[in-house]
Structure 1
Amino acid sequence: MESALEEIEFLALSENRVEVLRLLSERPHSRNELAAATGASQATLGRILSDFRDRSWIRRAGSEYLATATGELVAAGVTDLREIVETERRLRGVVDYLPADSMGFDLRRLADARITTPSQTRPNAPLSRLLELLEDTASVRTVSHAFNEQTLTVVRERTTTGEATFEGVFSRSAIDALADDAELRDSLESLVASDAASIRVREESVPLAVMLLDDVVYLLLRDEQGVLRASIDTDDEAVRAWAAETIDDYWADAEPLAESSVALE
């Protein structure tokens, strides 16, 4: 009897095998239907179906074939593995910058996420993506270790004009950095004065930067030196739930900016 790894190899070495098993796990198919769906020749399908029947992964019902219970099990496992590997390949270039210890959701939920990385021609592409999202967002909630000038400007303008509401939790270092610059301090004061904005300060460090922009979650990824490396945004339901809970937790553990020791004068 072949080992489990040998069985996996048997499937993985043929895209047609994987696809035929997936199709038969969904519903019965005739050989002609399988040929049309996969593009495989009748000879190839004959070998595949014979191999599957030898393993009791499929059975024949008249002119059609369908997966057995164990065939469905294998098909589900192969599909899961493929999705995992496809997601891993997409995240491979940014995995070192993910706040993995803080991400309470299955990474497979990022399978369809948009990943934006800097390039030679667009070095600020991740930040540009955020600003693009902010321009069309009515509700912004965030927790972050940084609050850059561009984001502050857009948020201040949209809250002042009543186009958006804003709730933010920031590390003390992020607020101090703004307060140390006269122009940025004025912008921050204006934002704090807006009825549509609320800001809180966290004394401890903030290990991540996550925004909830209406139904979109935006993650800003930096390396250990604070260099912007990528951003990820998604409207996945599970990721949204995680983002909302994370922001709520940080919000409850922070103090309002007006009551903090940061002077906005």
Structure 2
Amino acid sequence: MCSQNGEGKRVSPRVQELLNHVARTPVRIEILSILTDGTLDLRDLSDCLESPRTTVRHNLQEMIEANLIEETIDNEFRSTPLGRVVLDALTAFSDHVETALELEPLFSCVPPSEFDFDIRSLSAVTVTEVTRAKPYAPHQRLTALIEDATNVSGYIPTNPLLFNRTDAPIFQAADSDISLYVPEDIADTLQAEHKTKLKNLVQRGPLDIGVLAGAKIDYGVARIDDRVVILGLDEHDKPHVLVETTDETVQKWASKRIDSLRTRASSIVETDNRGMSIAHGQD
């Protein structure tokens, strides 16, 4: 992949050589990890690794030549400062890749560039994905989370199906606060199917729906009580994956994203002295 200035993002030859050296066999990363915690002689290290001494000795020698490991005057081995730094970098890299693999269903719908934070903030997540057995699982999970919540604020690019159950807990709690932002086509669907329910819920106070005119945003993001949800859509604009997290960094990102959408929204229902009227606003 090339950067905007036409130069590729390349790893320097020296770094590439060192990475190849460490990753040549899995035992080398294990050696670094063990010797970062203290010094061991060849026999004890072989026992820890459950590996033949000849194999361990060969790898130690090459790692010494790369200045990753050093031998003490007592014929024990320990990690060098460089070895410790390399191990930290490899651990961070491993965590980064592991998170990316878990989030692959989301990244297939939403470019990682949408998230202006370290994706490792998404390492502790719950992922609900479409399957053959459960083709509506993400949508159903989203609806269930909203129904049982007290505070909801966010952009939902698909019909939330909340109004099929106006006896849901969120509509009954006196302290409920629901602020949803939807694209125009979803607003039209809600108006056509639930106009009376919308009027009643807005008059009672717990519900506010804003309409976003213009281009439709390709994914949903909402804060539901103490968690953030990100909804990825497939090529047909159907829910494909729902990611949930309580990470503080992601919560801050979601709040900023939602606030920016709020400034573009106009109320789906306006109240005046003459009653209720449905109105779309402009950007």
- TM above 0.5, yes or no, is yes
> Please, which runs of 5 or more residues in structure 1 have no aligned partner?
none
Count of aligned residue pairs for this structure pair:
259
Pair 1:156–1:255, CA change in 2 (3 A): farther
Alpha-carbon distance between aligned partners in 2 of 1:135 and 1:59, rounded to the nearest angstrom = 60
Please report how far the alpha carbon of residue 55 of structure 1 lies from its aligned counterpart in structure 2 after TM superposition.
1.4
Please report how far the alpha carbon of residue 134 of structure 1 lies from its aligned counterpart in structure 2 after TM superposition.
3.2
Identity %: 23
Alpha-carbon distance between aligned partners in 2 of 1:36 and 1:141, rounded to the nearest angstrom = 56
Q: Are the counterparts in 2 of residues 139 and 214 from structure 1 also a CA contact under 8 Å?
A: yes
1:175-229 per-position Cα deviation (integer Å, ceiling 9, x unaligned): 1111122xx2233223322323332222233412112112221111112321222
Q: Are the counterparts in 1 of residues 229 and 244 from structure 2 also a CA contact under 8 Å?
A: yes
Q: Counterpart of 1:71?
A: 83
1:28-54 per-position Cα deviation (integer Å, ceiling 9, x unaligned): 243576556544444433333332222
Q: Secondary structure at the match of 1:97?
A: coil
Matches within 5 A, 1:246-265: 246-259=257-270, 262-263=278-279
Q: Counterpart of 2:93?
A: 81
Matches within 5 A, 1:186-205: 186-205=196-215
Q: 1:237 pairs with 237, 248, 251, which one?
A: 248
Pair 1:6–1:74, CA change in 2 (3 A): same
Pair 1:30–1:169, CA change in 2 (3 A): same
Q: Counterpart of 1:216?
A: 227
Highest CA radius of gyration, 1 or 2?
A: 2
With normalisation by structure 2, the TM-score equals: 0.77
Q: 2:143 pairs with 131, 136, 140, which one?
A: 131
Alpha-carbon distance between aligned partners in 1 of 2:47 and 2:265, rounded to the nearest angstrom = 60
Pair 1:41–1:236, CA change in 2 (3 A): farther
**Counting helix residues as a fraction of each chain, which structure ranks higher?**
1
Q: Secondary structure at the match of 2:55?
A: helix
With normalisation by structure 1, the TM-score equals: 0.82
Alpha-carbon distance between aligned partners in 1 of 2:110 and 2:257, rounded to the nearest angstrom = 15
Taking only aligned residues, the RMSD between alpha carbons, in angstroms, comes to 3.0
